[in-house]
């Protein structure tokens, strides 16, 4: 007579995923674009352009898309070039956060002084 534990050996469960635990929480996606609107409270609209080859005609075309981003300190102004980083959903449309302002738009400052 054999007992149940001897008859069927129990297999240890194998964890799925990478063998070594990673220290970082994962890579965040980054986008670079131009601010098209900074009129909302702590929110900016950034237009990101990318080049893509047309699938049929093989011509390189520009594709642009607008993203809503969170700007806590309201550093970005209209026309600035900024870098965005992905984050958790902050509202219905905002999935991006302002990381840094790469270049400031100097013409917008001159227009405001002249007007």
The domain segmentation of the chain, as residue ranges, is 28-114
Q: What is the pLDDT of residues 42-62, one digit of tens each?
A: 999 999 999 999 999 999 999
Determine the Cα–Cα distance for residues 63 and 42; give it in Å rounded to an integer.
Answer: 26
Determine the Cα–Cα distance for residues 33 and 49; give it in Å rounded to an integer.
Answer: 7
From the options 3.50.50.60, 1.10.1040.10, 1.10.3720.10, 2.40.50.140, give the CATH code of 28-114.
2.40.50.140
Q: What is the pLDDT of residues 65-105, one digit of tens each?
A: 999 999 999 999 999 999 999 999 999 999 999 999 999 98
Please check whether residue 100 is in contact with residue 83, taking contact to mean a CB–CB distance below 8 angstroms. yes
| pTM, full prediction | 0.70
Determine the Cα–Cα distance for residues 42 and 69; give it in Å rounded to an integer.
Answer: 8
């Amino acid at each position: 007579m054999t007992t149940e534990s001897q008859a069927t050996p129990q297999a240890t469960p194998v964890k799925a995923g990478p063998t070594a635990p990673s220290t970082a929480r994962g890579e965040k996606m980054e986008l670079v674009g131009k601010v098209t609107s900074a009129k909302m409270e702590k929110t900016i609209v950034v237009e990101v352009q990318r080049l893509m080859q047309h699938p049929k005609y093989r011509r390189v075309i520009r594709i642009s898309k607008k993203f809503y981003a969170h700007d806590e300190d309201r550093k970005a102004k209209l026309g600035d070039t900024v870098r965005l980083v992905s984050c958790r959903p902050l509202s219905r449309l905002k999935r991006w956060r302002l990381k840094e302002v790469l270049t400031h738009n100097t013409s917008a400052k001159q227009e405001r002084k002249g007007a």
